[in-house]
Structure 1
Amino acid sequence: MSRKSRVRRWARGFRDRDTWAAYGFMTPWLIGFVVFLGGPMIISLVLSFTDYDGLRESSNVGFANYEQLLSDPKIRRSLANTVIYAIMIVPGTMIVALGLAMMLSRVGRRSAGVFRTLFYLPEVTPKVAVGVLFLMLFNGQVGLVNGALGLVGIDGPDWSTDPAWVKPGLALMHIWSVGGTVIIYLAALNNVPRDLYEAAELDGVSGWQRFRHITVPMISHALFFTLIVQTINALQTFDEAYAAFYGSSASATYSSDAALFYLVYLFQQAFQFLHMGYASAMAWLLFVVIMVITVIQIKVSKRFVHYEGGDR
């Protein structure tokens, strides 16, 4: 097909009523993308090369903000905290959610509906409320968690003040909100063909082998999806940590950097110290880190993710 023919065909399609209807339905999303995502990203990229405090006119500083990122010790500290936290919560969330989903797949439909609702309730809890709840549950002296541990003779740690236990405590609070992941895994488990399990049972395959060689490969696409989403969410952790340790009432009593996650430090630079240009450079560094990790996950997944039709 010649170039002129392709142009004429495109022009006819552009004049088609259905085409205009499609553009009409897409318009709200396009406007939202430009106003709330695409536009701010471009503005932040421009600001990352400036010295801007939000009050005075910006001045161009070239790559100075990015050079400062390399020498700022708190950048390394906050990135390390964030990565360690992600390593804790991503596999933890996936394992707990898969275990709950497998239990739900074995109960009746009515009971499963009730438990799905109960498991999903923490998902709709405001993140700031979760941060406040963390301080109540994991208080080293009067918290319910240490009180429960004391009943079985275990002396619980100071979750909210000991730097070594701050991230594990926050990770436990995060894993509490696994309802959305449970529902995704439950849907994937319900789509696994039953005849595969029946054939395996007839061959005398053990439960662990059925899980390893049937369940995991058949739901690997759901596992891969949640791995990507959970990793991105973990690297953007902010609400719970800020509400628990850097809010107006908490900041005066907590001075350790154990809960200084990357977005918390970015927020401080932007809205406490008014270093908008530097904060924009931090945002783009995080964007690059997330992109690199996501690309690596996609490349590695081709060896392990099973798709219908046998493609990998």
Structure 2
Amino acid sequence: VRVPEADYGLKLTMYQFTSCPFCCKLRSVLDYYGFSYDIIEVNSVNKKQIKWSDYKKVPILVCEDVGKNGFLQLNDSTVIISILQSYLLDRSQSLEKLASYYPALEGQDEKGKKTVEFQNKYFLMYQQAELTDNRTKEQYEEERKWRRWTDSDLVHMLSPNVYRTPSESLETFRHFDKVGEWEKNFSSWERTVVIYVGASVMWVMGKIIKRKYGLKDEVRDSLYDSCRLWTKTVGKKKFLGGDKPNLADLSVYGVLTSIEGCQAFEDTLNNTKIGPWFYRMKDACTNHKGSSSSHHS
């Protein structure tokens, strides 16, 4: 992705699954602000493209020519977004310095599996933000609240809906095959494995997530409820951020783009009023409308 009119002087490579909501969320921020970046599609079954990394979740964003090793690896979509926004607000701080403000804490979940949590991940780190941002403390708090809601609520509505039945699950993976250009990125054998193994695994996962997060028996209703809550929160404004999107708008939009093209998304457009906001966001991201407002030399 190249946006010549907004040159931030960063050489970025994003490792992703096309369909992953967290990857879509990061892409919406990169696109809105007009960052240029390369994309490497990761095989979701064997993950061989990120064999080099100890951290095995996507997205991973690598910034070349930064840091001691000649590159800086940034992990966790929310952390990456906070770092990039902090950088845009205050260019006096390097990406490396900003990354140090979001320490990774390793722990274990109830099954003894290793977990990695990042402190402060919804907070922006800046010293001179008043130079470029005149938002109130309440507006920052609201943005953080809804960014957190995207990760803790909205995102869990997706899998049970797009993997609702074995056939819907397979249809979803065939859609991902097209949009992720798997034909170019993987061998035909790899594609077949990813589509059929992925569809089976995610159909089961959808059921587990439905139970874990207490979705309604008709999972569509839970997705509609979350989307209605969001449109009610945005209200009569163009975006939650007012005349231009804030990071909560970009997070909600990004996560929803992961199911765009699936039946669940069409049903959501037909049963809620989220469409106008969604397509205003699409226009803002596709046309890099944040590049002029954020690009200060």
Which has the larger Rg?
Answer: 1
TM-score range, shorter chain: under 0.3
**The structure with more helix, counted as a fraction of residues:** 1
Structure of greater relative contact order (alpha carbons < 8 Å, 6+ residues apart):
1
- What TM-score comes out, normalization by structure 1 length? 0.25
**The structure with more strand, counted as a fraction of residues:** 2
